[in-house]
Every structure is written in structure tokens, then in C-alpha cells.
Structure 1
Amino acid sequence: MSIEAPLGAPIPRDHGGGLDAAMARHGGARGDWLDLSTGINPVPYPLPPIPPHAWTALPDRAATEALVVAARTFWRVPDAAEVVPAPGLSALIARLPQALGATRIRIPGPTYNEYAASFSAAGIPLTDDSDAPAVLVHPNNPTGRLWPAEALPSLAVLDESFCDVTPEATHVARAAHPGTLVLKSFGKFWGLAGLRLGFAILAPGPIATRLHDALGPWPVSGPALAIGARALSDPAWAEAARSRLAADAHRLDALLTARGASVAGGTTLFRLYEVDDAQAWHDRLARTHVLSRVFPYSRTWLRLGLPHPDRWAHLEAAL
């Protein structure tokens, strides 16, 4: 299945979220809603105290270096690879076509549609040629597919936004060699999407230089540097989060399969279900203030994130 548009055609962009539109249609205040349309950890990392200078001063080199050191340690980044912090993964995706310097790109679908939109907007054609440079979402969104090392082309961008729940599957060790660029999203696993923090991990060279230049000075805010460095230095929290997410994903599967859905894929941050009519499920849930995710290319796929531990009763009643 592919969501790629013909060469030169605009690429549709659809995402989870959009709670404002759901409230306008179905009523209720934000606190009444259970937003399961994204794959964000519902139990976020507890915010540490933030020093006042993080708000009032330009981010300094020491704060940036502390974040990079923490990222290197947490993800076991090879010494020969660079870590490029950015104000969210979207900022990297928007700059990726120019930084990569490719004349064509392969983006196997269905997958996160911002990549196709970004390359199309830059005038870089999409192709199905298996020899072309590729963007591979690992694990894939929404299917959860993992890309084995033998399937990676000589030039690959690996989006590991959801890989922190399965750290054993990471390809970050390959980032020491030219040809592999690993992207990491902080907001999903740590549940702080509003912080806007992302990373590119890659070998030094022209691509890294172009990314640095495109992001400019002080790309990451002072508060994001402080919070990111603290969270990435807390492996005990990460391990506990993985265990809780795995248990909750199993609980969600049991709820949905008991009501006629079947598991079609996903990760422990989101689950993908096969249902008879995804739009009907989506509308029925919305009427009880539960926001789910449907896809324009599938009539039967329904995606749900995990509810906060205090909100299971809401979901059970809606189902």
C-alpha cells in the first residue's frame, strides 16, 4: 500500500491531534476529552526545576553540550557520529531535502506523510526504485514495521521517533558511517511533545554541516535544553515507562479485540486495529469525547494511543 502522490502532485498532510476541531463538532471542554489520536506517552516525564537563566538568557554552549552528552549516553551514540539537536523533529524534516542533497527519494508507504510532503515541496521526485536513497520510519507509523539492517539502502534516513520503546531495535550504531542518518523525537516517549525537541545523529560531513547551517544559532530553547538533558540522564524512568507502556498496550488490545477489532500492528505507544468501518468507530467514539485516528487511505484501520492510567474508565465506557 502506498500513499505517494504522482510526481509533482501535492502530498496530503493529515495528523493526529486536532482536538479543537473535535470539540467544535462534538462539544465538551478540553478536559472532557480523551485524546488517543497521537502516539504520545500519556504519563510524561516529570518536569524538573528550570533555572531562571534558561528563560532569560540565550542558550549557552555548556547547556547545549550537556544535552548532547546526555543524548550520546542514552542512545549509545558512536563516538564517530555527531548529534545535532533541533527544535522538534518537524524542523529537521523540513530541512532534510536540502541537507540530504538527493535528486530523488524513496519513501515506502503508508507512513508518516510529512516526509513525502517535505521532499515534494522541495521539488525532489518520489520514486519506487529500490536503489534510491530512502526514508524509513522505524518502527513505522502506523504499522509498527521494523526495518532490518539488510533492507537498508546505502543512503538511508531512519526515523526512530517510536524506537525508544524497543531500544534493542535501534540502528544508531550505523550512524558512525556516512550514508545513515538517524532521527530521534524527544516528545513522544517522554510525553513532552510541546517542548519541541528532536535530534539528528549522523557522521560528520556535508549533510551534518548543511543541517547545522539550516538550523542556525540557538536552535533549541533554554528550557528544552535543561529538561531534555535531565530526562535523557534518567534511564530508570525510561525503563519503568517501557514496562508500563507494554502492559497498557496489552490491556488496550484486550479491550478492542473483545469488541470485534483485530490487532493490525503498532508499537506500545500506539496500537493499530482492523475494524469493519473505521470512520464509524471514530465517529462513535467522538460522540463520547474520545478522539481516535483514521487514515484517508484505509477504510478499516483505526489507530489508538494509550489512555492515561486515570482515564481507562472513560475509554471502557465509550467502547
Structure 2
Amino acid sequence: MQHGGNLHDAKARFPEAPEPWLDLSTGINPNAYPLTLPDPRAFTRLPSPQEVSHTEAVAARAYRISDPARVAATPGSQAPIRLLPRLRARGRVAIVGPTYSEHERSWVREGHEILAVTTLVEALSLTPDVVVVVNPNNPDGRVAHPAELASAAAELHQRGGWLVVDEAFGDLDDEASIAPQDLPGTIALRSFGKAYGLAGVRLGFVVTAPALCARIREELGPWAVSGPALAIGAAALADDAWLAEQKVRLFEAAIALDRLLTGAGFHIVGGTRLFRLARHGAAPDWFVRLAKAGIWVRKFDHDPTILRFGIPQEETWTRLKQSLAAK
């Protein structure tokens, strides 16, 4: 499953489409955090260890982590996805899917054996060394209950295994997060850019045991996260009121998008507050029709009957509505 946001592909394939493109192919909050630029010195000098620790502490509070030593700042969640497979001897890795394909690519690149499964129960039945779960999942938004994850973590830990939980979409779904539980052998990945609409900042966090956090910092090396990213992340993560407002706003937007898609003949089969997954017998035709109208959505090779729609910006709802209504 490829990532979204690839408008260069859209423009190359549909050069006749009107500009500007409406990019609904990503699961990023269309309401970006109203940041102010940090102190200009953040751009002209390297960040200090104290600045890194401060942002990690702010993130720990935001994620309900009691010990900031359990939080390591990373340049987005992609960096630890690539790094983690290098921190273990080669083994058997069960990935609950279909889901974000970078997990499989990263483990395969380091020589691990991949076990493709569709449920956590199936994964554990194969006695893997590592289980990877995206929670909430991309693209269907399904959620594994923290108690189920905790049980899996305990079983894996008994044989020296890991449970890796990608919580990239977890900022808007606190009840699904396993990060606060401090479970041995458990690694949670958090993405800052999706919920805060600032994907270009490239900031993420790993939540795990302090010793593994220290190793991840060592592997990433000094200054892995830029000073501006640290400052922006700390300011946004400390703004509880803004995030609470976004949870309500995006919940309402998701309901409105469901109604719009249902009205066009789609059947909603999943999603989160940041995207909706919809099925239609003519999904390939809808993909082309929308693209010719300058609207880019996600299609999937593993199931051509589904499309994923991100939440539109407020000023673009009418454009989407008109395109879905066009015959």
C-alpha cells in the first residue's frame, strides 16, 4: 500500500485536470495548527540536548506517559519504522494487514521473514518474534483494544519478542493507545504531523522502555530532529484545548463526508477522523472521474472496489460535492 500525497503522479497522469488539485489522498488534518515561527535562532544553530529533552517531556505529558525517558523524538515516524528492524537479529515478523506497506518493506530489507496475517490472534498463533499492528489501522481505521494488545505484548515478551504498535493516527483516538501502559517489549510509534496538519515538520516519537529509547537516540545520532521542528512540536503538543476542539470538529467532518459519499452510492467500510474508506462497484471509474476533476483520492491494488478519502478543507467541500454529484 503506497503512501498518499503523490500529486506529481496525479498531474503526470491527468494533465488536463483543473488546478489547483484537491488532495484527499492523505490522512492529514486539513486544519493545520496555527503555528507562529519559532525564535530565528532555531534556524541558525543546532538544537541543544535540553531542547530535545523539553520536547520529549511535552510529548510525554500529551501522550499520558509518566516517565519522559520513555519518549524519544524522531524525524517523523518513518525513521523508526526503518530503524527498528536493524535493532534485532533476523526473525519472524507478523504484520497485521492490509496496512501501511513501509513496515513490511523495512523488515524485509533487513532480512526478516514476513508473516502476512489479518488479525492479531492469527499473528500470535504463528509464534513470531515480532508483531506489527497499526492502531487505528490504515486504511480501514479498525482499532485493536488496548487490553488485547496488552495480552499480546505479555505473550511476546515472555519469549523475548516485541509488539510494535504504529499509532500514527492515535492522537485523535486516545482510548486506543497502548503507549501509557508501559508494557515490557512494547514499542509505540507516534506521528506529530497527521493530527496537527504539519506533516512537513517531520516530527515523531517512539514510546518504549528507557533503555531502548536511549539506543534509538544513539542510532539516530545527534540533531536528528531540527530545532524548528522541536519548537513547533512543543508548542502544539502543549495546546490541549486546540486538540480537543479538533477532535470534535473532525468527528463532525467525518460524519458529513460519510453522508456525501453515501449519497453518491458509496458504502462506508471504515475510517478515522482523518479519512474515510468507502466501497463502490465502480470505484475505478470514480477514481478517474474525480482525478479528471482535479481531486486526488487513494486507490488500492489489493482491493480495487475501495477508495480512501481524506477530510477536505472547509473551502473545498462544495467542489467535492459537485464532483460526486456529476453524472
The alignment's TM-score, normalised by the length of structure 2, stands at: 0.89
1:31, distance to aligned residue in structure 2 (A): 5.4
Q: Distance in 2 between matches of 1:266 and 1:238?
A: 19
Superposed CA offset, 1:220-273 (max 9, x none)? 001000000000000000011111100000000000001110110010100000
Partner of 1:96: 84
Partner of 2:267: 262
Indicate if the aligned counterparts of 1:86 and 1:199 stay in contact, CA closer than 8 A. Answer: yes
Segments of 5+ residues of structure 2 without an aligned counterpart are: 118-122, 157-161
Indicate if the aligned counterparts of 2:56 and 2:68 stay in contact, CA closer than 8 A. Answer: no
Alignment partner for residue 141 of structure 1, among 138, 141, 157? 138
1:98, distance to aligned residue in structure 2 (A): 1.2
1:102, distance to aligned residue in structure 2 (A): 5.5
Alignment partner for residue 280 of structure 1, among 285, 291, 306? 285
Q: Distance in 1 between matches of 2:91 and 2:32?
A: 40
Q: Distance in 1 between matches of 2:204 and 2:18?
A: 27
1:23, distance to aligned residue in structure 2 (A): 1.4
Aligned residue type for 1:39: G
Partner of 1:293: 298
Partner of 1:198: 204
Partner of 1:232: 237
1:24, distance to aligned residue in structure 2 (A): 2.2
* Structure 1 residues 135-214: aligned runs within 5 Å: 135-148=132-145, 149-151=147-149, 152-153=152-153, 154=156, 155-174=162-181, 176-205=182-211, 207-214=212-219
Alignment partner for residue 315 of structure 2, among 300, 310, 314? 310
Aligned residue type for 2:199: A
Distance 1:28 1:99, change over 3 A: farther
Partner of 1:114: 102
Is residue 51 of structure 1 aligned with residue 53 of structure 2? no
More displaced, 72-81 or 155-164? 72-81
1:28, distance to aligned residue in structure 2 (A): 6.4
Superposed CA offset, 1:53-86 (max 9, x none)? 1000011122112211110111111328511101
Alignment partner for residue 64 of structure 2, among 76, 84, 89? 76
Indicate if the aligned counterparts of 1:23 and 1:30 stay in contact, CA closer than 8 A. Answer: no
The alignment's TM-score, normalised by the length of structure 1, stands at: 0.91
Partner of 2:120: none
Partner of 1:223: 228
Indicate if the aligned counterparts of 1:80 and 1:203 stay in contact, CA closer than 8 A. Answer: no
1:150, distance to aligned residue in structure 2 (A): 2.1
Aligned residue type for 1:163: G
Aligned CA RMSD, in angstroms, stands at 1.7
Distance 1:49 1:157, change over 3 A: same
Segments of 5+ residues of structure 1 without an aligned counterpart are: 1-12
Between Structure 1 and Structure 2, how many residues are aligned? 305
Identity of aligned residues (%): 43
